[in-house]
Amino acid sequence: MLRLPHEPAVAIVGATGAVGREMLAILEERAFPLARLRLFASQRSAGTRIAFRGHDIACESLEDAARDGTLRGIDLALFSAGKSVSKEWAPRLRDAGALVVDNSSAFRADPACPLVVPEVNPEALAAVDLPAIIANPNCSTIIALVAATPLHRALRVVRMVAATYQAASGAGAAAMAELESQAHAFAQGAPFDTRIFGRQYLFNVFSHNSAVGDDGFNEEERKLLTETRRIWADDSVRVAATCVRVPTLRAHAEALFLEFGRATSEHEIRAILAEAEREGHGLRIVDDRAANRFPEPLDAAGKDDVLVGRIRMDPSVEDGRGAALFVCGDQIRKGAALNAIQIAERFLPRGASVDANPASRCG
């Protein structure tokens, strides 16, 4: 595997969005080694100044940079500006020499672009020749698979049923602001701003706002199927999902019902998950039955780990082959920005160090 330089020149494309700003925060937190940081945003936002390590960096537009011939020299480009921007610009930055980690769905089905959760399928990065485009999976898929993969490795998941409880952040910073604005409007007895979702979101839930296909599944649900199969390199796994938006801000929750290839026990499932937790596979068990304390979006928000709880056998699956879980993960962080940066870290030279567990985030 080719490596990035010790102190790469890094670009964030979509720097003013919720995920872009989180990428900046995570690069700071983890002391990601970089020689230079360039921030790209839409032409409308070009000129916006954003603080990073004590400096104010002005956002540029990709169009201007292309015209000026300054797209060269970027070693690592982290994209989170939507599918159409990625489709147009990710290949151009790659062709200009960059490792692109793309958070959109543009390249997730492209066989030339590995689709990677570092705790799950790091082996998919082994054959990558730089420059390249690596695809960051869908947030719901990442959060489900951080929890389900240790069980899949040990017990082989043959079917996964998922019902999601998805936060506003998956639709961007404006959607988060709309939800908060509705709480203010409710308190003031004022009309609700419904520009993003076209409906009251506060005190409501609704089917995920992605296009519904002829089979009745929406795009988010389809991603859970196709991306799980690709990441697990297993086209036989069956996945059914119902994806639902709930009025939370930035962490997704998911009720998972797993069916395995062989009989198991709650004891074995807990042992597998506990080992994954100990070995730093990105999950933390939160499962206190007596106190009724299980994963909650507010507890997952701002954290790197996916919280895993409600661990129990599912007796509705025959022969002891079923289990149920409830998981929560920060959609902006592990569902997007953090996972992208963790992918990039795999390409840092062996001498380069990042601080994967900054004390400021412990607690």
Which residues would be at the binding site for its own copies (CB under 8 A)? 159-161, 163, 165, 179-180, 183-184, 186-188, 199-200, 202-207, 209, 211-212, 215-218, 238-240, 242, 244, 246-249, 253, 255, 257, 266, 289-290, 292, 294, 296-298, 309-317, 322, 324, 326
Report the residue number, 111 or 292, with the smaller CB distance to its own copies.
292
Q: How far is the CB of 200 from its own copies (least distance, A)?
A: 6
The burial of 279, by beta-carbon neighbours within 10 Å (0-12 exposed, 13-18 middle, 19 or more buried), is given as exposed
Phi (first) and psi of residue 100, to 5 degrees: -105, 130
Structural tokens at position 136? 């960051």
Q: How far is the CB of 306 from its own copies (least distance, A)?
A: 15
* Angstrom distances, CA of residue 51 to CA of 37, 269, 345: 11, 44, 22
Report the residue number, 122 or 247, with the smaller CB distance to its own copies.
247
Report the residue number, 244 or 352, with the smaller CB distance to its own copies.
244
Select which of 139, 152, 208, 243 is catalytic: 139
User: Active site includes 55?
Assistant: no
Report the residue number, 57 or 324, with the smaller CB distance to its own copies.
324
3-state SS track over 121-154: CHHHHCCCCCCEEEECCCHHHHHHHHHHHHHHHH
Structural tokens at position 223? 């991603």
Beta-sheet pairing, 76-79 with 206-207: unpaired
Q: What is the CA radius of gyration of the chain?
A: 20
Q: How far is the CB of 267 from its own copies (least distance, A)?
A: 12
DSSP bridge partners of 50 = 57
Q: How far is the CB of 133 from its own copies (least distance, A)?
A: 30
Report the residue number, 48 or 200, with the smaller CB distance to its own copies.
200
Q: How far is the CB of 255 from its own copies (least distance, A)?
A: 4
CA nearest neighbour of 276 among 155, 107, 111, 105? 155
Beta-sheet pairing, 283-285 with 306-313: parallel
Q: How far is the CB of 40 from its own copies (least distance, A)?
A: 31
Report the residue number, 111 or 315, with the smaller CB distance to its own copies.
315
User: Active site includes 252?
Assistant: yes
Select which of 208, 252, 281, 328 is catalytic: 252
Which parts of the chain are beta strand (E)?
A: 9-13, 36-40, 49-52, 55-58, 76-79, 99-102, 132-135, 157-165, 206-207, 238-242, 244-245, 251-260, 283-285, 306-313, 322-330
**Dihedral sign of CA atoms 69, 16, 142, 25 in order:** positive
Q: Which helix (H) or strand (E) holds 74?
A: none
* Residues catalogued as catalytic: 139, 252
